[in-house]
């Protein structure tokens, strides 16, 4: 598997961390290509739990080089803190490589994220308030500050001063906040620079050379397909492209080097933040999914909204990402239910939808057309062979496979590394 993309096929938190960790065992590089520390990827190894926000999940393996590529936004304070915490726990992050083209999340991005959300009131997106949207806004407005700018204190200070001219006008006049000072920010960031510079390189070249030398590269998506800025439920999305195309753009690799695109999907579905969610459950079944599934945000601690598996959305993810395989996670959580529902289509104002409605407005009113499947009511966390799964669990897996037209090659039945069934 020279190059494999692992990405979220839903609204994030599908289990990408554990899936990446599984593939990373044989990978030479694990690459984060978009997003920043809005991500929270959990890896459980024995009694140890690791929650990674920016460091690629491949950091757990000593032979693997973790790469933060150009499409990411990097909060240096968070990254250095994560590096220190990993070192304290015996994980060696020294192989980490960071693209000189990646953009920096600045203190004013975090500030703007928080105040903009507050001003949106009822219409807020429910962002993670990590400064992601404002950092990407500056990138596309071509006034962003990049990792490479840390190399030259004079250029860095100039760029901060220029950015603050605009930012401070907005902060003070629009949002009634105090202005921010260039001195404090420059001083803080140049201190981070000293520690970050050894990690910085041309990651596109590094990966190209790796692929040419037959090395295995794994691309680790953050967020999920339905949070994609172009293909998700806009505006209730993140500000990057978590879809397969984003892996190419974000890391500077061309499409012919990609062999596999693995979509990670939970056996049900969750969403954090606001926005339409056709299969959302507002009843005790939804509460049970949240509690049994431990559906609380890794980054913000927020309670995730939960619902039955949405096959309209999963088919959509299969299409926009050209998924070659699906990794189905958390099947064990469904063991608690007598019957399990899945949405095959939606209806709205008498219209039937097999595909995502073209107009976002319609999605708000969509009711799911649910199919009921029999549950299995047996503990499956110890199953390792597909044949060991109860018949109804296998039926469920095969139903999803047929509905999406994508092979489900792996099914996880618990959060630990070995709690996995490979077909
Ligand atoms: P990510 O953001 O996609 O990496 O996912 P998160 O780490 O935010 O959330 C997934 C959660 O589900 C984590 O707490 C994982 O430990 C847990 N998890 C992953 N796979 C399984 C599984 O098969 N069964 C159970 N019970 N938990 C799982
Ligand atoms: P992982 O990688 C789930 C959601 C936020 C909000 C929207 C925009 O762990 O799956 P942002 O801070 O990105 O501007 O917020 O996107 N969101 C996530 N939801 N998992 C994530 O990451 C998310 N990252 C952002 O809740 O609705
Ligand atoms: Mg997460």
Of 33, 57, 114, 127, the one to substitute when testing ligand 2's pocket (max ligand atoms within 8 A of C-beta) is: 127
CATH architecture of 103-198: Orthogonal Bundle (1.10)
pLDDT above 80 for 1: no
Query: Could you say which ligand is closest to the alpha carbon of residue 41?
Result: 1
- The C-alpha atoms of residue 279 and residue 308 are separated, in whole angstroms, by 6
Q: How far apart are the first and last CA of the chain?
A: 17
- The C-alpha atoms of residue 58 and residue 14 are separated, in whole angstroms, by 17
* Global model pTM greater than 0.95: yes
Instruction: For ligand 1, say whether the CB of 220 is within 6 Å of any of its atoms.
Output: no
Model confidence at 358, in pLDDT bands (50, 70, 90)?
confident
Q: Calculate mean pLDDT across residues 354-376.
A: 94
Distance 288 CA to ligand 2 centre (A): 22
pLDDT tens digits, residue range 287-316? 999 999 999 988 888 999 999 999 999 999
Q: Calculate mean pLDDT across residues 41-45.
A: 95
- pLDDT value at residue 2: 83
Give the single-character DSSP code of 413.
-
Q: Put residue 306 in one of left, alpha, beta given phi > 0 → left and psi -120 to 50 → alpha.
A: beta
pLDDT above 80 for 419: yes
Query: Could you say which ligand is closest to the alpha carbon of residue 418?
Result: 1
Instruction: For ligand 2, say whether the CB of 223 is within 6 Å of any of its atoms.
Output: yes
Q: Closest Cα to atom 9, ligand 1: which residue?
A: 13
Where are the domains positioned within the chain?
Answer: 3-90+203-422, 103-198
DSSP letters for 91-160: ---TT-EEETTSEEPPHHHHHHHHHHHHHHGGG-----SSSHHHHHHHHHTT---BGGGGG-HHHHHHHH
Catalytic residues: 13, 41
Instruction: For ligand 2, say whether the CB of 9 is within 6 Å of any of its atoms.
Output: no
CATH classification of 3-90+203-422, choosing from 1.10.10.60, 3.40.50.1240, 3.90.170.10, 3.40.50.2300?
A: 3.90.170.10
Give bridge partners of residue 269 from the DSSP assignment.
307
Average pLDDT across the chain, whole number: 97
Where would I find the beta strands (DSSP E) of 192-338? 200-201, 217-220, 260-266, 269-271, 305-307, 309-310, 325-329
Q: Closest Cα to atom 20, ligand 1: which residue?
A: 415
Q: Calculate mean pLDDT across residues 19-39.
A: 97
pLDDT above 80 for 103: yes
Instruction: For ligand 2, say whether the CB of 133 is within 6 Å of any of its atoms.
Output: yes
Distance 183 CA to ligand 3 centre (A): 35
Instruction: Ligand 1, residue 264: give the atom nearest the CA.
Output: 3
Q: Calculate mean pLDDT across residues 49-76.
A: 97
Distance 42 CA to ligand 3 centre (A): 7
- pLDDT value at residue 208: 96
Residues by chain with Cβ below 5 Å of ion ligand 3? 13, 40, 298
Answer for the pair 15, 230: CB distance below 8 angstroms, yes or no: no
Distance 36 CA to ligand 3 centre (A): 12
pLDDT above 80 for 341: yes
Distance 408 CA to ligand 1 centre (A): 17
pLDDT tens digits, residue range 106-135? 999 999 999 999 999 888 999 999 999 999
Instruction: For ligand 1, say whether the CB of 8 is within 6 Å of any of its atoms.
Output: yes
pLDDT above 80 for 247: yes
pLDDT tens digits, residue range 194-240? 999 999 999 999 999 999 999 999 999 999 999 999 999 999 999 99
């Amino acid at each position: 598997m020279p190059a494999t993309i692992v990405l979220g096929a839903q609204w994030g938190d599908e289990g990408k961390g554990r899936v990446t960790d599984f593939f990373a065992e044989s990978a030479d590089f694990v690459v984060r290509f978009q997003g920043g520390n809005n991500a929270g990827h959990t890896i459980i190894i024995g009694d140890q739990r690791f929650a990674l926000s920016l460091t690629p999940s491949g950091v757990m393996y000593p032979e693997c080089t973790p790469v933060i590529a150009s499409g990411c936004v990097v909060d240096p304070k968070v990254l250095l803190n994560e590096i220190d915490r990993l070192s304290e726990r015996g994980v060696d992050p020294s192989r980490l490589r960071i693209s000189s083209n990646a953009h920096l999340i600045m203190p004013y991005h975090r500030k703007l994220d928080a105040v903009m959300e507050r001003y949106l009131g009822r219409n807020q997106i429910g962002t993670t308030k990590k400064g992601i949207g404002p950092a990407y806004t500056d990138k596309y407005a071509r006034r962003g500050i990049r990792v490479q700018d840390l190399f030259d204190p004079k250029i860095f200070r100039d760029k901060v001063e220029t950015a603050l001219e605009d930012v401070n006008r907005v902060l003070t006049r629009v949002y009634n906040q105090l202005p921010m000072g260039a001195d404090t920010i420059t001083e803080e960031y140049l201190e981070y620079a000293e520690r970050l510079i050894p990690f910085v390189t041309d990651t596109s070249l590094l990966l190209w050379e790796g692929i040419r030398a037959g090395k295995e590269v794994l691309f680790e998506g953050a967020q999920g397909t339905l949070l994609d800025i172009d293909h998700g439920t806009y505006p209730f999305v993140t500000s990057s492209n978590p879809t397969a195309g984003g892996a190419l753009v974000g890391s500077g690799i061309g499409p012919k080097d990609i062999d596999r695109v693995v979509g990670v999907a939970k056996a049900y579905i969750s969403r954090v933040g606001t926005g339409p969610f056709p299969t959302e459950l507002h009843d005790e079944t939804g509460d049970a999914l949240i509690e049994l599934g431990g559906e609380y945000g890794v980054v913000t601690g927020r309670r995730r909204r939960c619902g039955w598996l949405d096959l309209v959305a999963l088919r959509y993810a299969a299409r926009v990402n050209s998924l070659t395989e699906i990794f189905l996670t958390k099947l064990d959580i469904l063991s608690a239910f007598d019957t399990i529902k899945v949405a095959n289509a939606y209806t709205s104002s008498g219209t039937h939808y097999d595909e995502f409605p073209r107009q976002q407005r319609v999605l708000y009113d969509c009711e799911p057309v649910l199919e009921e499947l029999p549950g299995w009511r047996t503990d499956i966390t110890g199953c390792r062979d597909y044949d060991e799964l109860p018949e109804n669990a296998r039926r469920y897996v095969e139903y999803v496979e047929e509905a999406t037209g994508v092979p489900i090659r792996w099914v996880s039945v618990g959060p630990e590394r070995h709690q996995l069934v490979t077909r």
